Amino acid sequence: MTAATKTRHLAAVPDEPAPAAPSDVEVARFYVEQQATLTEQHQAAHLALEAPDVEQDLLDAVNRTARALEQPGANRHALLADLARRMYWHGHVDGAADRKAGERHLKIADSVLAEVVVLEQRDRQALRATEHTIKRGTVKP
């Protein structure tokens, strides 16, 4: 009877140490940034659903004006003035929407920045406490 021999497979041990786990601050920053992005996308989706279709509304207004101008006795100045008012109104609404979107982006950026500042202040306080403990000699580095 022959004894079966088993071959051994040795795994190579890497020369580099395992990467350090991310700190609490890095993890918190990631989630804060992710939440801000999701909130921004959510708000943008809602605004897109609520916003009037400006382009289509203006095309409809132009078509109505063109048909009305073809009618005999149409008041050309009144129809064109009405079309101009509608175009001005849509331009004003678009400008206001752009300003509101810009304000929302600033608020989101400010809230994210505030969260990061709070986290950094907390980490600095923890670092100072650790340094004081080490200086007092109660904990060996």
What confidence tens digit (pLDDT) does each residue in 10-59 have?
Answer: 666 666 777 777 788 888 888 888 888 888 888 887 777 776 667 777 88
Half-sphere exposure of residue 35, counting CA atoms within 13 Å on the CB side? 11
Q: What is the mean pLDDT of the chain?
A: 78
What is the identity of the amino acid at 52? P
Domain ranges for the chain: 24-136
104 vs 81: CA distance, rounded Å:
34
Instruction: Quote the CA–CA distance of 103 and 109 in Å, as a whole number.
Output: 10
Look at residue 62 in the predicted model and tell me its pLDDT.
84
For the four alpha carbons of 113, 114, 119 and 124, in that order, the dihedral sign comes to positive
> Which range is least confidently modeled, 3-12, 33-42, 64-73, 88-97?
3-12
Which of 27-41, 63-77, 94-108, 113-127 is predicted with the least confidence, judged by mean pLDDT? 94-108
Alpha carbon distances (Å) from 32 to 40, 44, 101, 119: 12, 18, 20, 11
CA distance 61 to 86: 8
- Residue 58 CB: number of other CB atoms within 10 A? 15
Q: What is the DSSP letter of 15?
A: S
